[in-house]
Amino acid sequence: MQRIAPFLAGCLLLILPAVAQTPPPLAAQPRVPASRAEIGLSFAPIVAKTAPAIVNVYAMRTVQARRGPSLLEDPFFRRFFGAPNGPGFGGPSERIQRALGSGVIVDASGLVVTNNHVIDGADEVRVSLSDKREFDADILLRDPRTDLAVLKLRDGKAGFPAAQLGSSDDLQVGDIVLAIGNPFGVGQTVTQGIVSALARTQVGITDYQFFIQTDAAINPGNSGGALVDGAGRVVGINTAIFSRSGGSQGIGFAIPADMVRVVLESALTGGKSVRRPWLGASLQSVTADIAEGLDLPRPVGSLVQSIRPGSPAEKSGLKVGDLITGIAGQETDDPDAFGYRFATRPIGGSVEVSVIRQGKPLTLTIPLLTAPETTPREEVTVSTRSPFGGATVVNLSPAVAEELRTVEADSGVVVTAVAEGSPADATNLRVGDVIREVNGLPITRTADLVRATTTPSRVWRITLQRGGRTLTAMLPG
């Protein structure tokens, strides 16, 4: 076959001379560099432009560690080896945990973007610049839903080297990119690759799944570092890898710069949480069976399952059963893609959404509003001796439900945090659980839960809502 193909191509040219008016362009042939200038082609100018703004982030937190029983608990040994509550006697002792990651200075005033998991729970954060200067940093904003955090360097002087944020929507599969960070703590490192895929939504890392995939080597310690395009602009924040060994296997994921910009803007306005538009509707992916039932050519889009009364979705005229296929002229293949596109729209104004209803296309206009906090949170950490001890709870509202991505509920008390090793932890309470009843008492406000758990009980009967299911359990007191 290798000998026949050139012969047939020549025959076509002889038989059809009038058709082949212009010879087809020749395929690009591999060639050696033709000049010293071509031999010297390098990514060094991009690195020189961006690398000074890439920093190392050191996070430290103090944890209480309890050691197991030892001979030193015996009174005889205590006489000779020190205080009974010191290390080695089974008493609590402090231990320092350290985390290492990377970050990007995005403003000359010293604003740094990194991953939330790098600084999660940190008591102290320190940032080291590429020129060896080190600064303590304050955490301005944490956003677990995107795994992003914004830090501020503690220094009265401005003029820090800052990287330019690009637009992740300008990327195409095949574009050359650089990953800059501090893998394994060896020091600032640059790796090169291409954009392997865009809009990865089935990764399972954050609430807003719409990742840039790259084969540029990303390893532990690169988290929070920059993914840089050919113009030296930061188009993503490296956040995770797919690996069976713990090292790079050519599949890395970066949070798009357009999402980074939303979190950064919230930090610049002094917010402690990210303000995002609220849809007020639950969406479902379209399977092959659903697509066949709806007579769709392929299984794409987001099927509307439910709509909250008074929400922007209801105000726009969206209905249960509608199929959302795009937003602002951009196609969205699934609920994750739509959620990302919707979440990156600015608050205020409105956005047009493409919908198919009963086989007919139409366009709806959805107002871009934040979820309302209709009920004050009244946050409480339960300290009573009960299955809820160590749990932090707040009153439920659309704003809280949106933050926690809980099931749709109009009222109640929802768990927002569970202390490690607490009775609530032992009870297997989870963030997002909605507490409905304790020992026959309805729980509608946090004060109700405090009142219901004040009196000790030999048996606790609790009812809660989790993931659309109602669970009832009997627990010993």
Q: DSSP readout, 181-231? A: E-GGGS--EEEEEEEEEEEE----SSSS--EEEE-S---TT-TT-EEE-TT
Compute the distance between CA of residue 137 and CA of residue 100 in angstroms, rounded to an integer: 14
Q: Catalytic: 147?
A: yes
Say how many CA atoms lie within 13 Å of 175 toward its Cβ.
Answer: 22
Query: Looking at the predicted structure, is the pLDDT value of residue 182 above 80?
Result: yes
pLDDT value for 327: 93
pLDDT value for 233: 93
Compute the distance between CA of residue 57 and CA of residue 122 in angstroms, rounded to an integer: 11
Compute the distance between CA of residue 276 and CA of residue 281 in angstroms, rounded to an integer: 14
Provide CB contacts within 8 A for 196, sequence distance 6+.
173, 213, 214, 215, 250, 251
pLDDT value for 227: 93
The tokens 């006697």 sit on which residue? 89
The one catalytic residue among 223, 266, 282, 311: 223
Q: Is pTM, for the whole model, over 0.85?
A: no
Tokens coding 235: 């188009």
pLDDT value for 89: 47
- E-assigned strands of 262-406? 281-285, 302-307, 323-327, 330-331, 350-357, 360-367, 380-381, 391-395
State the amino acid at position 355 in one-letter form.
Answer: V
Confidence of residue 451 (pLDDT cuts 50, 70, 90): very high
pLDDT value for 49: 92
The one catalytic residue among 117, 258, 282, 448: 117
Provide CB contacts within 8 A for 309, sequence distance 6+.
none
Tokens coding 31: 């060639």
Give the range with max mean pLDDT: 66-80, 230-244, 273-287, 352-366. 352-366
pLDDT value for 41: 75
Compute the distance between CA of residue 310 and CA of residue 25 in angstroms, rounded to an integer: 61
Compute the distance between CA of residue 416 and CA of residue 370 in angstroms, rounded to an integer: 20
Confidence of residue 312 (pLDDT cuts 50, 70, 90): very high
Say how many CA atoms lie within 13 Å of 317 toward its Cβ.
Answer: 10
Query: Looking at the predicted structure, is the pLDDT value of residue 90 above 80?
Result: no
Compute the distance between CA of residue 118 and CA of residue 98 in angstroms, rounded to an integer: 10
Summarised one tens digit per residue, pLDDT across range 109-152 is 999 999 999 998 888 999 999 888 999 999 999 988 888 999 99
Alpha helix (H) residue ranges in 362-411: 398-404
Query: Looking at the predicted structure, is the pLDDT value of residue 443 above 50?
Result: yes
Helices (H) and strands (E) counted in the chain, each on its own, are 12, 25
Per the model's pLDDT, the better-predicted residue between 48 and 39 turns out to be 48
Average pLDDT value for the chain: 82
Nearest to 195 by CA among 219, 169, 177: 177
Q: Catalytic: 223?
A: yes
Beta bridge pairs of residue 304: 283
Centre a 10 Å sphere on the Cβ of residue 1 and count the other Cβ atoms it contains: 4
Provide CB contacts within 8 A for 202, sequence distance 6+.
209, 336
The one catalytic residue among 147, 258, 322, 333: 147
- Taking the C-alpha atoms of 163, 169, 172 and 177 in order, what is their torsion angle to the nearest 10 degrees? 10
Compute the distance between CA of residue 369 and CA of residue 278 in angstroms, rounded to an integer: 6
Query: Looking at the predicted structure, is the pLDDT value of residue 74 above 50?
Result: no
pLDDT value for 248: 59
Q: Catalytic: 117?
A: yes
pLDDT value for 105: 94
Beta bridge pairs of residue 197: 213
Provide CB contacts within 8 A for 27, sequence distance 6+.
none
H/E run at residue 448: helix 446-454
pLDDT value for 394: 94
Nearest to 191 by CA among 161, 166, 214: 214
pLDDT value for 81: 42
Confidence of residue 373 (pLDDT cuts 50, 70, 90): confident
